[in-house]
Structure 1
Amino acid sequence: MDGRDWGKFLVPYEQAVEELKVKLKSMRVEMKKREEYSPIEFVTGRVKRVSSILEKAKRLNVPMEKLEEGIEDIAGIRIMCQFVADIEQMADLIRARKDMKVLYEKDYIRNNKPSGYRSYHIIVEYPVQTALGMKVILAEIQLRTLAMNFWATIEHSLSYKFQGNLPEHIRDRLSKAAEAAFRLDEEMSQIRSEIVEAQKLFENQSALISQVLNDIQQLYFYNRAKEAQQFQNRFSELWGGKDDPWSLRELSEQIQAALLLARKEHMS
């Protein structure tokens, strides 16, 4: 231990993780609002614990004064994707960003580790504006499918329990599980278009229902209680009967027409 103030040392990394999480989550929201397909399912991040930094520095023979250059994943971001193809798209989006610089990439999907670990790692330089000025730090962005992440999370927990020395029977089981997770990803990729279309239909239906209910509430605001109640009853009939998106859309258009008229009368 070199007596450094670890709290101060980690401040820019903590800031970088929070900024990157916000930026990447905002990217997902923006793409959804543009009605584009988003390769991001969800985003997490963490700053490496001091004990983990020291253990890795010892394992890699990184001197204490070289931690900032020698340990590239003190700041870590993980982006979960639904499909392997999404990982490729997400990597392209990261390469195109101007607020970070890609240094190099590690493809553990095409070249998985002997343990079965699969993921795509991108090491970036990211500038952080601190109270003391601009500081450029290293950060690691991991891209995984949900299946890859499930396996990696279990493997990490077991490795921690056995301090990296997994019993042979557990290693064999994990290896088989890794192949099963990879086959799951391959199978899901074969029906990717159908899955994406189904999810889009569900999202559109949910948005339409929210709009109908909000518009009915607006009619109450304009003292159109009787009309609002009639629309509410018709919505309840549609909701309790057979799923009919066309009838629901027609109802929505009628409510919006009534709401437009109510607003005009309110303004006059």
Structure 2
Amino acid sequence: MKLRLWRERLHPYELAVQELVMKLQFVIKEHTDCGVYCPIEKVNGRVKSISSILSKAERKGIPVEEVLDRIEDIAGIRIICQFEEDIYQVVEYLRSRTDMKVTSEIDYIAHPKPSGYRSYHMVIEYRVQTSFESCTIPVEIQIRTLAMDFWAVVEHSLQYKYEEKIPDRIRRRLMTSAEAVISLDEEMTAIRDDIKEAQTAFHKKANLVQDIMNSLGVLSKTVADEKLMTLQNRFFELYNQGNMEELRQLRDEIDLLCKMQLQEKLNL
């Protein structure tokens, strides 16, 4: 297959990755805007390079003309979570979505690979509409914690460096570090509620501050400078004190003032 044709055939895969990353990042935004903890920490995606696709096809003995039909991880999404429990929440969430169909799942967390690799793998079917066709694309989704991801990236780099023949001494150290990752995730789980509470409080405060700043920006065009400075000084004072209740009262007061200013404009 010519290089140009390969690139064209991969366009639907690129679109699938872009759409899925955007949708899952919006899930994070929705939770953040509502001040609610999100089990998804971050999302990224990729489409395998042509050389990687051909290399995998050669390793698995797949004829070139069958590559796109038989390789399911040409398009890939990686979802990173803070806690192991979050992974299974994300799995249930993906199963419930109507814009994708889960076709296979492998739980490498409950059943790690011999190397120590741990992650949750799903393959989904996702429909895209390009400029020229509508088609269903297989996408592999890997869901793992931050610690699992760090280990997996290191292991992948070593596999590449040693051409999948990692020396025994390094393999033993990898297994030891894999056990450390399990311990780290267990420790994180033990303090999960405290971390979630702190993060939720932070997001609520950040959203409250953003609301106040936006409203002050609106008022800056309509109220006298002296009044605006008074409100700003109150805001900075309450912010430095960390007084959430009085910050909420200030937000309501500023919102009311904005509505009054708007009503005055409408009455003119």
Find the residue that maps to 1:125 and give its secondary structure.
strand
Whether the 8 Å CA contact 1:238–1:244 is kept in 2: the answer is: yes
Show the counterpart of 1:237. Answer: 237
Give, in angstroms, the shift of residue 34 of structure 1: 4.9
Task: Describe the shift of the 1:236–1:124 C-alpha distance in structure 2 as closer, same or farther (beyond 3 A).
Answer: closer
Amino acid at match of 1:265: E
- Identity rate of aligned residues, in percent? 45
Whether the 8 Å CA contact 2:105–2:123 is kept in 1: the answer is: yes
User: Could you report, residue by residue, the CA deviation over 1:229-249 in whole angstroms, capped at 9, with x for unpaired residues?
Assistant: 111122232334x32222322
User: Could you report, residue by residue, the CA deviation over 1:53-87 in whole angstroms, capped at 9, with x for unpaired residues?
Assistant: 12211222222222123211001111111111111
Task: Describe the shift of the 1:3–1:266 C-alpha distance in structure 2 as closer, same or farther (beyond 3 A).
Answer: closer
Show the counterpart of 1:176. Answer: 176
Show the counterpart of 2:115. Answer: 115
Residue 88 (structure 1) aligned with residue 88 (structure 2) = yes
Whether the 8 Å CA contact 2:35–2:200 is kept in 1: the answer is: no
Whether the 8 Å CA contact 1:126–1:138 is kept in 2: the answer is: yes
Find the residue that maps to 2:98 and give its secondary structure.
coil
Aligned-partner Cα distance in 2 for 1:72–1:155: 21
The 4+ residue runs of structure 1 with deviation greater than 6 A are none
Task: Describe the shift of the 1:224–1:264 C-alpha distance in structure 2 as closer, same or farther (beyond 3 A).
Answer: farther
Task: Describe the shift of the 1:138–1:217 C-alpha distance in structure 2 as closer, same or farther (beyond 3 A).
Answer: closer
Range with bigger deviation, 125-134 or 177-186: 125-134
Range with bigger deviation, 242-251 or 72-81: 242-251
Find the residue that maps to 1:221 and give its secondary structure.
coil
Find the residue that maps to 2:118 and give its secondary structure.
coil
Aligned-partner Cα distance in 1 for 2:236–2:33: 28
Aligned-partner Cα distance in 2 for 1:170–1:80: 26
Give, in angstroms, the shift of residue 16 of structure 1: 1.3
In the alignment of these two chains, the number of paired residues is 266
Amino acid at match of 1:110: A
Give, in angstroms, the shift of residue 35 of structure 1: 4.9
Find the residue that maps to 2:226 and give its secondary structure.
helix
Highest relative contact order (Cα 8 Å, sep 6+), 1 or 2? 2
Show the counterpart of 1:246. Answer: 245
Give, in angstroms, the shift of residue 202 of structure 1: 0.5
Runs (5+) with no aligned partner, structure 1 = none
Whether the 8 Å CA contact 2:73–2:140 is kept in 1: the answer is: yes
Residue 128 (structure 1) aligned with residue 125 (structure 2) = no
Give, in angstroms, the shift of residue 33 of structure 1: 4.1
Show the counterpart of 1:214. Answer: 214
